[in-house]
Structure 1
Amino acid sequence: MHEAVPRPFEEVPHALLRKRVRDIASGLEGELMAVVRKDVSDTPVREHWVKLAYVRGTSGREISTALANIEAV
């Protein structure tokens, strides 16, 4: 019997994908490129997942931030 290998992250659909957004934490405005659910657990016994948003600014540089920090512009 094989146990399922946990995935370190998985993509999440989001209504603002490919739309213009602002990261309220940094003030960066850009296009929402992806939303992922990422496992940031410090031990295999206790899972801890977060949702991260990846925003590409006009310079082409991409940042990640908490999904809760994203707002439409």
Structure 2
Amino acid sequence: MAEVYEYVRHALLRERVRDIASGAEGELMAVIHENVSGSVAYERWVDLAYIRIPSGREIAVLADNVEAAF
């Protein structure tokens, strides 16, 4: 089985961002290409963005839903 994750470069890394779906804002800590299937027979890979919100907690959201916060 291949690795279950891989770091991805992102232009907004360490910048203030907003998740379009939830409206959550914070600092983009990482974008990871991750296997979220939980199955060896069927792999499903997505790009997850990890955002550190003001409380200090990190949330995972779809990387396609991340935009710069102004």
* TM-score range relative to shorter protein: 0.7 to 0.9
In structure 1, stretches of 5+ residues that fail to align are none
- Report runs of 4+ in structure 1 exceeding 4 Å deviation: none
TM-score by length of 2: 0.87
* 1:32 maps to amino acid: L
Greater Rg over alpha carbons, structure = 1
Distance 1:59 1:7, change over 3 A: same
RMSD: 1.3
In structure 2, stretches of 5+ residues that fail to align are none
| 1:50 aligned to which of 36, 46, 67 | 46
| Number of residue-to-residue matches in the alignment | 69
Q: Identity rate of aligned residues, in percent?
A: 57
Counterparts of 2:52 and 2:36 in 1: how far apart (Å)? 23
